[in-house]
C-alpha cells in the first residue's frame, strides 16, 4: 500500500513502520525487560531479534517509545525530518532531531448521543389519543365512530336479526325489496321493452338458376 504526501521541500520522510512491526517490537521489548535486560542491552537484543542496525534500529526504538501506551487501532508510524524554521504541528512527537507521526484507523465505536433522535424526546402522548369519527381499530386509536364494516349501510331495522341479508334488513326497516334506496324523485324510470316483429322470410331458390352438371357414374 502506498501513501501519498504533498511535496514539501521543508519535510523529508526518512522511513516508516507498520503496526505489525511495532506491536511485535513492543511485545519483545517487554519480554527482554522482564528477563532483566538493561536500557543499554535492550537495543542490542532488539537489533538481533529484528535484524536491524544503525539509524534504522534507532528509529525503530523511538517509534516503539511513541506508541507503546497506545497501540490499539494503530496504522503506522512515519519518521520525518523538518527544517529548523518550519512550524511543527502538535501531532508530531520529537525524538532527537527527527519527528514521529503516529497514524490510526478511524474508530468503529458509535459516537455518544448528544441530542435526541428523530422520535426521541417527543413523547407528548399525541399518538395515543383517540380520533373521533375514525374509530373501529381498537382502543389505541380511539373509538366512537363507525367501524369499517358499518360504513355506508345505514341503521338496521328494529326487526332485523343479526347476520340477516341486506334485503331482509331493508324489508324490516320499512320497505319491501329494499333494492333501490335512493329518494323517489331520483329513481330511474323503467326501461320500455319493444315488441319483436315476425322473423324475415326465407328467400326461395331461383327457378332460372343454372343447375350443377352431374357426372356420369362409372359402370
pTM of the model as a whole: 0.47
Task: Give me the average pLDDT of each 10-residue run along the chain (219 residues).
Answer: 52 92 95 93 94 94 94 93 85 91 86 58 52 50 52 53 61 54 67 80 76 69
**Predicted pLDDT of residue 204:** 78
**Predicted pLDDT of residue 149:** 53
Query: How confident is the model over 77-93, as pLDDT tens digits?
Result: 999 998 888 888 889 99
| Pairs from 205-214 (Cβ < 8 Å, separation ≥ 24) | none
Q: What is the torsion angle, in degrees rounded to the nearest 10, for the CA atoms of residue 30, residue 33, residue 39 and residue 41?
A: -110
Q: Can you give the residue ranges of every domain in the chain?
A: 11-104
**Predicted pLDDT of residue 98:** 92
**Predicted pLDDT of residue 193:** 79
- CB within 8 Å of 104: residues ≥ 6 apart: 73, 74, 75
Q: Tell me how crowded residue 57 is: count the other CB atoms within 10 A of its CB.
A: 16
What's the DSSP call for residue 41?
H
Query: How confident is the model over 103-146, as pLDDT tens digits?
Result: 999 987 766 666 555 555 555 555 555 454 454 454 555 455 55
What's the DSSP call for residue 202?
P
**Predicted pLDDT of residue 35:** 93
* Nearest residue to 141 (alpha-carbon basis) of 124, 127, 160: 127
β-sheet with 74-82: strand ranges across: 11-18, 74-82, 98-104, 92-95
Amino acid at each position: 500500500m502506498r501513501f501519498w504526501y504533498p511535496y514539501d521541500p521543508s519535510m523529508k520522510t526518512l522511513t516508516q513502520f507498520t503496526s505489525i512491526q511495532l506491536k511485535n517490537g513492543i511485545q519483545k521489548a517487554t519480554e527482554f525487560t522482564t528477563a532483566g535486560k538493561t536500557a543499554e542491552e535492550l537495543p542490542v537484543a532488539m537489533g538481533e531479534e529484528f535484524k536491524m542496525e544503525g539509524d534504522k534500529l534507532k528509529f525503530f526504538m523511538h517509534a516503539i517509545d511513541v506508541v507503546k501506551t497506545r497501540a490499539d487501532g494503530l496504522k503506522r508510524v512515519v519518521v520525518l525530518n523538518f527544517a529548523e524554521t518550519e512550524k511543527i504541528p502538535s501531532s508530531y512527537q520529537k525524538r532527537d532531531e527527527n519527528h514521529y507521526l503516529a497514524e490510526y484507523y478511524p474508530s468503529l465505536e458509535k459516537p455518544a448521543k448528544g441530542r435526541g433522535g428523530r422520535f426521541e424526546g417527543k413523547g407528548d402522548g399525541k399518538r395515543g389519543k383517540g380520533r373521533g369519527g375514525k374509530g373501529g381499530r381498537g382502543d389505541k386509536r380511539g373509538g366512537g365512530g363507525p367501524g369499517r364494516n358499518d360504513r355506508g349501510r345505514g341503521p338496521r331495522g328494529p326487526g332485523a336479526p343479526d347476520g340477516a341479508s341486506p334485503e331482509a334488513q331493508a324489508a324490516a326497516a320499512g320497505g319491501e325489496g329494499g333494492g333501490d334506496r335512493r329518494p323517489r324523485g331520483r329513481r330511474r324510470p323503467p326501461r320500455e321493452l319493444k315488441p319483436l316483429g315476425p322473423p324475415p322470410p326465407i328467400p326461395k331458390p331461383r327457378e332460372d338458376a343454372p343447375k350443377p352438371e352431374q357426372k356420369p357414374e362409372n359402370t
